[in-house]
């Protein structure tokens, strides 16, 4: 079943700013100037209120076509009226190398061109401030309009008639017009020439970036789009990779499970680093590892599970009163109290994410004894906390347990420290971490196993199944053909799957019974099938998963098993990383499918 149009959105950006565009060319979400800033365009969460967007209204509109320019983060939308007159809208955030540096200002460009006939259009620009307040002061200049309110000031610079935009009056488009949205600074240079040059150079940047990726033979387009999305989710200034670009898109309709995901979860680090490493996006991977290590070297006491893209910034959670929510389904939360939770898997995840620094020969600066010594205190914390209760990977807000996944990640951290120590020739430290990891592994596999359920359960001594146990062989805690793991997979198939969808768990939590399937959990089951030798099952489930991408090739966090609708924050880094990892694992080899076929 194909996903509906609720999250049929494209992501544009430049690793400093990002926005979401719908299939009619309406920009419905743009946080300015950073990913986690106040949304200047907030229509996505405005319910039935027509505020917080910019669009192009074509008189007599009949149809639209919208897609990415191939292998780029540039979106082209064509609107056609009933008489066949049409316009093309090109949206992008400029990014290219200029004077030896990455040029990536917090700007959006829009080019509107007549393609046929005499299209009559209205350009609407309705920004908000303070999370949904439309009352912004306007001041018109010779070629710009300045909007200010709530500490936010942005400038719309254009060669379109300003009075038409100010009054939202329609006019016949007889020539291309150009718009730039960004900081309140004068625009230097001739606008039309600059816009075209920036478009061409931005397309060129993305084409060259994709050209350098290492791809599998199968599903290349899906992998490329997922890779670009991961790049767009990287705040390049600090290296942080956010979980998603939105806040408060519910996990399910009416669920109240509305969270702000515009931050960096350290538990995601392992999966994101693996995905970036697997496609050869080594610079983005290295930047992310550097961000993580900046936190590690500064942290005193326990690390938090989630940080801002500037790690020192607070994450205090509050509700925005002027936004009704996605499809009117509130509340809209800003900030995330998960930053105050104890999630012990964080320590293992950071160590696992740092491991490539010691083994990936592409990196200009390899991990050394100094970095190893920085990681050892994290291993000590992992060992100390592995068997202690925490909120777990799914961030339960109302209870704590000794979670199997947290214990497994803590074990994995100790296990990787043993491998790193061996690699560096530190025999004594290798023996030390080897003894600790063996002890943790033995306890983990004994206490997570429920003999009545014939499965590894989500918590020690618990009865509830949890999809995160599918990661046990991927982490190396059990062999994929281990009888207990095979039995666990069987139990998950019976109780946590709906068709080919996979729930993270089926028991009630703080908000009641879960309703939707988690896309990352499906990719975990796909990987487990493959490792178990059930390769056709893995391929069938993966091919089915691709059907739930929206028209632009993007995935959110969740999918409703009955309707096929995408839910949860968007686009979801976890889901896109899972797609990459499973695609590469399942793909046929280049040797078999290309070189031999073409010889």
Q: Which residues contact 335 (CB under 8 A, 6 or more apart)?
A: 260, 314, 315, 316, 317, 318
Q: Which residues contact 555 (CB under 8 A, 6 or more apart)?
A: 519, 548, 549, 566, 571, 572, 575, 576, 579
Q: Is 155 helix (H, G, I), strand (E, B) or coil?
A: strand
Rg, the chain, Cα only: 25
**What confidence score (pLDDT) does residue 599 get?**
47
Phi, psi of 266 (to 5 degrees): -65, -25
DSSP 56-98: EEETTEEEEEEEEPTTSS-EEEEEEETTS-EEEEEEE---EEE
Whole-number Å distance between alpha carbons of 196 and 233: 25
DSSP 441-476: HHHHHHHSEETTTTEE-SBTT-----GGGGGHHHHT
**What confidence score (pLDDT) does residue 1 get?**
41
**What confidence score (pLDDT) does residue 147 get?**
97
Segments in 174-281 forming alpha helices (H) = 191-211, 220-232, 269-278
Q: What strands, in cross-sheet order, belong to the sheet with 558-559?
A: 517-518, 558-559, 566-567
As beta bridge partners, residue 349 has none
Whole-number Å distance between alpha carbons of 345 and 475: 12
**What confidence score (pLDDT) does residue 301 get?**
64
**What confidence score (pLDDT) does residue 396 get?**
83
Whole-number Å distance between alpha carbons of 153 and 50: 20
Whole-number Å distance between alpha carbons of 323 and 333: 10
Per-residue tens of pLDDT for the chain, all 599 residues = 444 458 999 999 999 999 999 999 999 999 999 999 999 999 999 999 999 999 999 999 999 999 999 999 999 999 999 999 999 999 999 999 988 889 999 999 999 999 999 999 999 999 999 999 999 999 999 999 999 998 899 999 999 999 999 999 999 999 999 999 999 998 888 999 999 999 999 999 999 999 999 999 999 999 999 999 999 999 999 999 999 999 999 999 998 899 999 999 988 888 898 999 999 888 898 899 889 988 887 766 678 899 999 999 999 999 999 999 999 999 999 999 888 888 999 999 999 999 999 999 888 889 999 999 999 999 999 999 999 999 999 988 778 899 999 999 999 999 999 999 999 999 999 999 999 999 999 999 999 999 999 999 999 999 999 999 999 999 999 999 999 999 999 999 999 999 999 999 999 887 888 899 999 999 999 999 999 999 999 999 999 999 999 999 999 999 999 999 999 999 999 999 999 999 999 998 877 666 665 54
Q: Is 234 helix (H, G, I), strand (E, B) or coil?
A: strand
In three-state form (DSSP H/G/I as H, E/B as E, the rest C), the secondary structure along 195-211 is HHHHHHHHHHHHHHHHH
pTM of the model: 0.95
Buried b / exposed e along 504-538 (16+ C-beta atoms within 10 A): bbbeebeeeebbbbbbbbbbbbbbbbbbbebeebb
Neighbours of 120 (CB within 10 A): 16
Strands 53-58 and 39-41: what pairing?
A: unpaired
Buried b / exposed e along 92-118 (16+ C-beta atoms within 10 A): bbbbbeeeeeeebbbbbbbbbbbeeee
User: By C-alpha distance, which of 241, 281, 210, 275 is closest to 36?
Assistant: 241
**Structural domains for the chain:** 12-209 (no CATH), 212-587 (1.50.10.10)
Tokens describing residue 209: 């970036």
CA angle 270, 441, 299 (to 5 degrees): 45
């Amino acid at each position: 079943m194909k996903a509906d149009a609720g999250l049929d959105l494209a992501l544009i950006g430049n690793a400093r700013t990002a926005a979401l565009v719908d299939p009619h060319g309406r920009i419905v979400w743009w946080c300015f100037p950073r990913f986690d800033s106040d949304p200047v365009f907030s229509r996505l969460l405005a319910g039935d209120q027509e505020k917080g967007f910019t669009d192009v209204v074509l008189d007599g509109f009949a149809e639209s076509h919208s897609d990415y320019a191939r292998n780029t983060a540039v979106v082209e939308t064509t609107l056609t009226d009933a008489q066949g007159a049409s316009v093309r809208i090109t949206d992008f955030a400029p990014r290219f190398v200029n004077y030896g540096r990455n040029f990536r200002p917090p700007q959006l460009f829009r080019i509107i061109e007549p393609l046929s006939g005499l299209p009559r259009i209205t350009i609407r620009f309705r920004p908000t401030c303070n999370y949904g307040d439309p009352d912004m002061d306007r001041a018109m200049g010779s070629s710009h309009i300045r909007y200010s309110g709530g500490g936010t000031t942005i400038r719309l610079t254009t060669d379109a008639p300003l009075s038409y935009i100010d009054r939202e009056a329609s006019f016949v488009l007889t020539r291309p017009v150009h718009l730039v949205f960004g900081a309140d600074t004068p625009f230097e240079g001739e606008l039309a020439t600059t816009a075209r040059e920036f478009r061409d150079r931005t397309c060129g940047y993305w084409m060259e970036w994709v050209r350098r990726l290492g791809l599998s033979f199968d599903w290349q387009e899906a992998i490329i789009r997922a890779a670009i999305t991961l790049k767009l989710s990287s705040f390049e200034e600090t290296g942080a990779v956010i979980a998603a670009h939105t806040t408060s898109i519910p996990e399910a309709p009416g669920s109240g499970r509305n969270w702000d995901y515009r931050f960096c979860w350290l538990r995601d680090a392992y999966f994101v680093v693996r995905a970036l490493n697997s496609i050869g996006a080594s610079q983005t991977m290295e930047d992310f590892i550097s961000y993580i290590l900046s936190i590690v070297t500064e942290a005193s006491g326990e690390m938090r599970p989630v940080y801002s893209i500037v790690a020192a910034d607070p994450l205090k959670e509050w509700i925005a009163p002027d936004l009704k929510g996605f499809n009117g389904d509130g509340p809209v939360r800003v900030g995330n109290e998960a930053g105050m939770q104890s999630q012990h898997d964080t320590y293992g995840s950071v160590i696992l994410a740092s491991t490539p620094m010691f083994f990936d020969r592409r990196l200009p600066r390899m991990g050394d004894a100094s970095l190893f010594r920085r990681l050892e205190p994290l291993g000590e914390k992992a060992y100390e906390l592995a068997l202690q209760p925490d909120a777990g990977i799914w961030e339960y807000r109302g209870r704590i347990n000794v979670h199997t996944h947290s214990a497994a990640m803590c074990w994995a951290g100790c296990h990787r420290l043993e491998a790193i120590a061996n690699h560096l020739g530190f025999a004594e430290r290798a023996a030390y971490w080897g003894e600790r990891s063996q002890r943790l592994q033995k306890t983990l596999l004994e206490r997570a196993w429920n003999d009545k359920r014939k499965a590894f359960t989500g918590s020690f001594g618990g009865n509830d199944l949890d999809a995160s146990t599918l990661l046990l062989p991927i982490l190396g805690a059990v062999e994929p053909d281990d009888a207990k793991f095979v039995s666990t997979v069987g139990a998950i198939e019976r109780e946590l799957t709906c068709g080919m969808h996979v729930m993270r768990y089926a028991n009630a939590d703080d908000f009641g019974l879960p309703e939707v399937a988690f896309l990352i959990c499906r990719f975990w089951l796909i990987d487990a099938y493959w490792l178990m030798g059930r390769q056709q099952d893995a391929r069938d489930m993966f091919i089915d998963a691709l059907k739930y991408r929206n028209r632009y090739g993007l995935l959110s966090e969740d999918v409703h098993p009955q309707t096929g609708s995408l839910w949860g924050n968007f686009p979801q880094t976890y889901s896109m990383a899972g797609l990459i990892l499973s695609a590469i694992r399942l793909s046929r080899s280049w040797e078999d499918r290309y070189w031999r076929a073409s010889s």
